[in-house]
Structure 1
Amino acid sequence: MIAAVVLGVGIGGFLDGIVIHQLLGWHHMLSGWYPSSDVHLMMIGDGLFHLLCLVIVLVGVALLNRRAPLPERVLLGGILAGWGVFNLVEGVVDHQVLGIHHVRPGPDQLVYDLGFLASGVVLLAIGALFARRARG
């Protein structure tokens, strides 16, 4: 189950970076500390973030390969729970404590940040439920 959670953390990071950073363009990894107009620096920050996500995914895959295959529901539950863990840790540490960036800066940034944290709780709960039911 730990392997699936680690994999989910990396996948959650990738989804955050691809959807929020690149497709929606709401923020970049370092946009809370530096002006977003510094495109080169924003690309470096996002690139390092994606590289870290890749390393986490590879660690998750390596951990999965060291054990018997997980039942599909346990694997899915672990991935969802890991995505939730990513949202919670990133939401608290990067958004609230360090202020590296916010989900969507502006007058409603706290609402977006809280929504991101809430999505983490929901994903973690659904993932745990999937994994628990699959284990019997």
Structure 2
Amino acid sequence: MNRRNVLSGLLLGVGIAAFIDETVFHQLLHWHHFYDKSTPAAGLVSDGIFHAVGMVATVAALFLYADLRRRRAFAAHIWWGGLLTGAGGFQLYDGTIQHKVLRLHQIRYDAPLAPYDWTWNVIAVLLLAGGVVLLAQGRRATTTAA
């Protein structure tokens, strides 16, 4: 059941990170679209697909979470570790692969990128590190109890 706890947390972490990215940076601030190498219309379509994928991850995570609770197999440290790892991993992937390697979009276009890139990626690493610590603690607790 620990794998299901991790998977549920990971999926919800990805879903939350995608939701915040889409809502704040794409819709409210209008800083970028998921795909900015084409027309604004293509950018909006890419945002819609991105939002749908994030929602599928969130719904799947919540079904797994409900199943864990129903089975009384929910392990809080492991689940929260998965959630932080999912959110941090998504954000680090976005900040490095999508922003820098593939250049699908940048965080902002009308300002110096370095402060935004550093802030984005440092937050990602902190989330990821927190998740890994919780997962390790949960694993240790499970191993000790067995």
Short-chain TM bin: 0.7 to 0.9
| Percent of paired sites with the same residue | 32
1:47-100 CA-partner distances (Å, limit 9, x unpaired): 111011112223333444555432233322211110001011112221011111
AA aligned to 2:23 is I
Once the two structures are superposed, the pairs formed by residues 117-136 of structure 1 within 5 Å of their partners are 117-135=121-139, 136=141
Look up the match of 2:54.
Answer: 53
Structure having the higher helix fraction is 2
Larger Rg, first or second structure (1 or 2): 2
State the 1:134 CA deviation.
4.3
Look up the match of 2:20.
Answer: 15
TM-score by length of 1: 0.81
- Structure 1 residue runs without a partner (length 5+): none
Find the aligned partners of 1:74 and 1:4 in 2 and give their Cα distance. 8
SS at match of 2:74: coil
Look up the match of 2:79.
Answer: 75
Instruction: Give aligned pairs, total.
Output: 132
State the 1:42 CA deviation.
2.6
Find the aligned partners of 2:114 and 2:46 in 1 and give their Cα distance. 23
TM-score by length of 2: 0.76
Matched, 1:42 2:64: no
- Structure 2 residue runs without a partner (length 5+): 1-5, 142-146
Runs of 4+ in 1 over 6 A off after TM superposition: none
